[in-house]
Amino acid sequence: MDRPDLTLQRAPLVDTFGRQITYLRLSVTDRCDLRCVYCMKAKPTFLPKKDLLSLEELTAVCDTFIARGVTKVRLTGGEPLVRKDILSLIENLGARIGKSGLEEVCLTTNGTQLPRYAAALASAGIRRLNISLDTLDPDTFSTLTRGGQLEQTLAGIRAARAAGLQVKLNAVAMKGVNDGHLPGLIEWAHGEGHEVTLIEVMPIGEIGVDRADQFLSLAQLRAEFENRWTLTDLPDSTGGPARYVRLAETGGRLGFISPLTGNFCDTCNRVRLTCTGKLYMCLGRNGAVDLRDALRNGGPEALDALLDTAMRQKERGHDFDVSRGAAAAVPRDMATTGG
């Protein structure tokens, strides 16, 4: 398959609101070895292999984005490490770091596969991982993941640390489920040298739950934390929507991603590509373009042209509202879009 020359930079991707897209979140599979209650149905129907972009196609898509100014690629899923031969894609992308503007390739994972993959990821150029961990209580973990084992994820975190990878833990805050566990999780993580980012429940996917029952305002949670710790706002940014504070008592950094109580759309710098080649300009909107069809029928030139169309379709912000209850802002679940 022909690929764009990485030494030739093209015009950057800029939407109609003047926001430059520098961050691609790339889902490599909709499959996962866990069944988290805020992410997918208990018995999901997975896509047939023929519908997925091949690893070569995923590389070609990334090359086009890199040529258009993307500096950061994050591989997601589902669980990206359950995709067969995923290391070949990671090695290909790792070899591009430092060329034509690509600065970083990173990964979001549930951690279960890291004892097997952590050392190879580090060798391939991965430096940072986001690992999903919502609680340190084994029973709650099993409930949230519908049967997952906490020790598997903890073993993955240890393997990542042993491989020299920087670990940031992501926890979805859920009212009456894990909210009481979060202080202990934060203190443990900071003691281990890991950052933590808390995320509000988002109304994505019709997965049979009432989002109003799950939703916990991070503004409310921060106020509760201020009765426990001394929080100092930080100007830090990792290129995403998190807002950071430092905890004086632990010395660690804590992030808040608040799509409902602290809308961050004005500075959006990202797009999301599903494993089937659908490019979503906004996590909370339905509008998408089909990069798979463009790539397979028109090659990299057609793909490049379609990115300009996508930029004209990117809206100012999402349409999240948990008051809808079980009705989602978008019907596709997180595993389909890419976490």
* Domains and their CATH numbers in the chain: 23-337 (3.20.20.70)
Tens of pLDDT, residue by residue over 164-215, are: 999 999 999 999 999 999 999 999 999 999 999 999 887 655 545 555 677 8
**Cα 245 to chain centroid, rounded:** 21
CA distances from 137 to 79, 177, 333 (A): 22, 11, 26
Peptide bond into 184 cis (omega under 30): no
In tens digits, what is the pLDDT along the chain, a chain of 339 residues? 555 554 456 899 999 999 999 999 999 999 999 999 888 888 888 999 899 999 999 999 999 999 999 999 999 999 999 999 999 999 999 999 998 799 999 999 999 999 999 999 999 999 999 999 999 999 999 999 999 999 999 999 999 999 999 999 999 999 999 999 999 999 999 999 999 999 988 765 554 555 567 788 999 999 999 999 999 999 987 666 789 999 999 999 999 998 766 556 677 899 999 999 999 998 767 789 999 999 999 999 999 999 999 999 988 765 555 454 444 455 556 666 766
User: What is the tens place of the pLDDT at every residue in 282-293?
Assistant: 876 778 999 999
DSSP H/E element including 188: helix 182-191
Q: Which residues have CB under 8 Å from 14's CB, separation 6+?
A: 20, 21, 311
Which residues belong to the annotated binding site for S-adenosyl-L-methionine? 38, 78, 132, 202
DSSP of 250-317, one letter per residue?
T--EEEEE-TTTS--GGG--EEEE-TTSEEES-TT---EEEHHHHHHHHHHHHHHHHHHHHHHH--SS
pLDDT at res. 324? 45
Binding residues for [4Fe-4S] cluster: 32, 36, 39, 265, 268, 282
Q: What is the pLDDT of residue 65?
A: 96
The model carries a pTM of: 0.89
Question: What's CA 11's distance to the chain center, in Å?
Answer: 26
Structure tokens at 19: 């926001």
Q: Give yes or no for a contact between 169 and 185, defined as CB atoms under 8 angstroms apart.
A: yes
Per-residue pLDDT, 241: 79
**Pick from 176, 211, 182: nearest CA to 196:** 182
Give the pLDDT confidence score for residue 73 in this predicted structure.
Answer: 97
Query: What six digits make up the tokens of 169?
Result: 């833990």
Annotated binding-site residues read 25, 32, 36, 38-39, 74, 78, 108, 132, 168, 202, 265, 268, 270-272, 282
Please report the pLDDT score of residue 327 as a whole number: 44
Q: Which residues fall in the annotated binding site for GTP?
A: 25, 74, 108, 168, 270-272
Model pLDDT, residue 237: 73
